[in-house]
Amino acid sequence: MFDDKVVLVTGGTGSFGRRFVSELLAEQKAAKIIIYSRDELKQSEMMSRFSEAELRVLRFFIGDVRDKERLSLAARGVDIVIHAAAMKRVESSEYNPIEAIKTNVLGAQNVIEASIAANVEKVVLLSTDKAVNPINLYGATKLCADKLFVAANSYVGKERTRFSVVRYGNVLGSRGSVIPLFKEMKKSGTIKITDTQMTRFWITLEDGVKFVMACVERMQGGEIFVPKIPSMKIVDMASTIAPDCEQEVIGIRPGEKLHEVMISNDDAVNTYEHQDFFEIVSPFKNLWSNVGKNLPSNGALVSKDFVYSSDGNDKWLSSEDLIAKLGAL
């Protein structure tokens, strides 16, 4: 899919962006990879990790997704856009709501408009489980971005640009995740957890990157792709990481859910199950003149009462599985 293509990665210096670019260099033969981000220090640090041969393929572009003019310049000649740039911390978004809206909502619309103007072939948005039935601003802004990307297929006209969304759960060991926090707490002898019943979806960064790549290959436009990934209780994760530490229950924080949902009951009527992922098809797809209307060829429509939640999951991450995955991070 990526051979001889020009690929633009917004937020390319983040955890996902760095791993995605590394996988792209190792597994694909992209003609050019553009890393678009606003932090020159992170770009400089990222440059130092690649060989001279790899750097010939890479372009480091300073810019903010809030700046449509700059984004449009970066998108010239691009075939595939992976939109990973976002404000992602719940507490930061709550305290700086308009900044989250500018980046996550208006930034997503800028990506859409710049991609259409540049006649980009495929554009994928990285979403989150927090976009489903959101109770915090971060989740609400990502829900807006999801809606914008799906709807963007309706006004592309006869151009080739297609938009889809990839939604998955918490990334094991990523910056800001609970694992580095637990490892730091371990030094004090006490691990603070919010609720003993709390569950979360978990995916490794490598699996997340590979899933996004596969979705770029299979997308027609307007789909929301959700991988089948395991759940784990936060308390079990804490016990695995710090078995000898005491645990202190501090209560759920503002804007936090007890369990996460990646597919709500309201989306069940448009959700198809595949072997290792779910596909939510837009109910407006048949109205779009520019997008392939074929329903998932090897998917089965889920039941009307279907919900994909972290507490009702049929796949669970054991302590042994977590230790094996942590060793590989």
Fold annotation for 6-169+203-228+263-304: Rossmann fold (3.40.50)
Estimate to the nearest angstrom the gap between the alpha carbon of 270 and the chain centroid. 21
What's residue 293's pLDDT?
59
The residues, ordered by sequence, that sit 6+ positions from 128 with a Cβ below 8 Å of its Cβ are 88, 138, 139, 142, 167, 168, 169
Q: Domain segments of the chain: what residues?
A: 6-169+203-228+263-304
The residues, ordered by sequence, that sit 6+ positions from 84 with a Cβ below 8 Å of its Cβ are 9, 10, 11, 12, 14, 16, 17, 20, 126
What's residue 23's pLDDT?
94
Residue with tokens 């006649």: 119
Give catalytic status of residue 130 as yes or no: yes
What's residue 80's pLDDT?
98
Q: Which portions of the chain are predicted below pLDDT 70?
A: 175-176, 289-297, 328-329
What's residue 176's pLDDT?
67
From the candidates 130, 228, 233, 325, give the one annotated as an active-site residue.
Answer: 130
Estimate to the nearest angstrom the gap between the alpha carbon of 71 and the chain centroid. 20
What's residue 318's pLDDT?
93
Q: What is the pLDDT of residues 59-88, one digit of tens each?
A: 999 999 999 999 999 999 999 999 999 998
Run of H or E residues at 193: strand 190-193
What's residue 230's pLDDT?
96
> What is the C-alpha to C-alpha distance for residues 290 and 286, in angstroms, rounded to an integer?
10
